[in-house]
Chain A
């Protein structure tokens, strides 16, 4: 696996590159602009000083009546600033021939250019920059001196551009060294900051990898409340829910396979035993009957399991229409009489108020019948089961009370759990699937109601189903 820190796909690398690239671009633009502005300003400064010198010189010439016999000494006497060594003067005749030049020009020959001559003839001053092949650049100002319309002289002032060029060279040097340095420093800083900001992401990735490896107990440690902290918290919540639901699924499938194993053991055992040697038709018949019973039990388990898993996924359609509960209770009472007949368990109706709830009549019937059937099943022979329907604080209350075997507090706590059966229920001849009350609970909850049980071991149980009323019953 490539190191996550240096692969080009890494956000950290990309952030750093973007960061450095952006800064480099800014630096280049800034340096270019700075250079241009700086060199302009310097040239302007040179030109202005040349102009001032030219004006001063021309004034001096006028005082000398434009005579061609101008002496630099006079000039420098009149204008001491002209004696500065950084400027030189030349005076050309109207045809461009040199007539006089200051001493500091020494032996250099700087002829008047055609452009300067033409401009002077037209009465315009002109700046020029001249570079001698082996020396520094010189800035020249050719300044026409006129008398009336006639060109009398051309005054030229020049100065070396060396100080300015040196200054610009220093600027370029600073920019060339400084800019890359700034970019490198900022990239290092960006790398460091991006690394710091992204470190929790690496932590999350590692945790996610461990979780992907099957360890759902992993959590990301975080104390920050920033974006990354929120991501980590969201992630932790998600894993928590995942862990819970996977544990439920595991428990559920373990329970399911356990429940199916008992009927399978019985059918397999009975069948193998019967096949060990020839038997009478009665024995075969008994085995087949027993097997059929177990097959029915398995189908019921599978059916109810399928229902519950579809219910968990929200795939069970539940109607929502007014249901007349009193009619339903009376109907179930009749069925309960039949159910209890064999064991002489009597079912009596207590108070039954005309109440309506909103829901699925078919599911509600299943719910009440299931609870009543349980009550009949676990009643002692000759016992009674009482059903009543009353209203209380906007709720319809269906109470089913039996005087049967009852339950311990521990059992009461667990009976709505899937596949849970009390010891008595496990020993009971009529085997349940252990899913009936789980289904009841689901039906009640889809109807926004509750189901509760109170029981005394050995004395009987009372189930109370509460469902929200559709509308308050009319006051009698």
Chain B
């Protein structure tokens, strides 16, 4: 899951980024409205966290432009003003949720998680494929009742694959949603992480869940074989 933060106050952007990274999300930060608008329109983010007070281009205009460009990514707005009209304007312009500064970091994470869950059309919270269960709230992964310990990146990769189970995911898609802008696409990092995941999830089980689609990428599903 990849998140864009558009926030001009570097320290605010910084702690939000660190908090989300701890939750295994890939995070990009930009500090002005114009760059934010361009990034949001070009990159397929899973969530955008947008401050309304921005240099360059006001947050409301960014919101408008992103929605005009038919981007349906959930957007969480941050307003420094507790004024109702700001929030109403933001929600009317296409925001999905808002937080008023100062906010509790746990609330930000919970709202981000809820928005991501809603976007993937799953309201229960738990992700399940066969006997593999992933709980996004506490990052617990079990298979057949057995707990599986994953690193942050492995978890992020698995969550993305489970949210899109049955779909063929190309390497660029995986890179875009699991890694941030600093990711170097010319390495085999994705293949390495896929093999780590296979070791932890599929080894020792009759039914393999992670499959390689030759020439395309990977998919996670229960095959009938």
Contacts and interface: CB of A to CB of B under 8 A. Distances in A.
A446 to B, nearest CB: 32
Interface string B57-91: 00000000000000000000000110000000000
Contacts of B8: 426-427
Interface in A140-177: none
B80 A272 contact: no
A276 B22 contact: yes
A262 interface: yes
Interface string B116-160: 000000000000000000000000000000000000000000000
A269 B56 contact: no
B7 to A, nearest CB: 10
B101 A265 contact: yes
Contacts of B181: none
Contact of A261 (B15, B22, B102, B105): B102
Contacts of B12: 262, 265-266, 269
Contacts of A276: 19, 22, 105-106
B55 A273 contact: no
A427 B105 contact: no
B9 A266 contact: yes
B200 interface: no
Contacts of A272: 104-106
Contacts of A273: 15, 18-19, 22, 105
B138 to A, nearest CB: 13
B25 to A, nearest CB: 14
Q: What is the interface of chain A mostly: helix, strand, loop, or mixed?
A: helix
B106 to A, nearest CB: 7
A146 to B, nearest CB: 118
B102 A265 contact: yes
A311 interface: no
A321 to B, nearest CB: 43
B186 interface: no
Contact of B103 (A254, A258, A265): A265
Interface string A30-44: 000000000000000
Interface of B: 8-9, 11-12, 15-16, 18-19, 22, 31, 55-56, 80-81, 101-106
15 contacts: A261-B80, A265-B9, A265-B103, A266-B11, A266-B12, A268-B104, A269-B12, A269-B15, A269-B19, A269-B102, A270-B15, A272-B106, A276-B22, A277-B22, A427-B55
Interface of A: 254, 258, 261-262, 264-266, 268-270, 272-273, 276-277, 290, 294, 423, 426-427
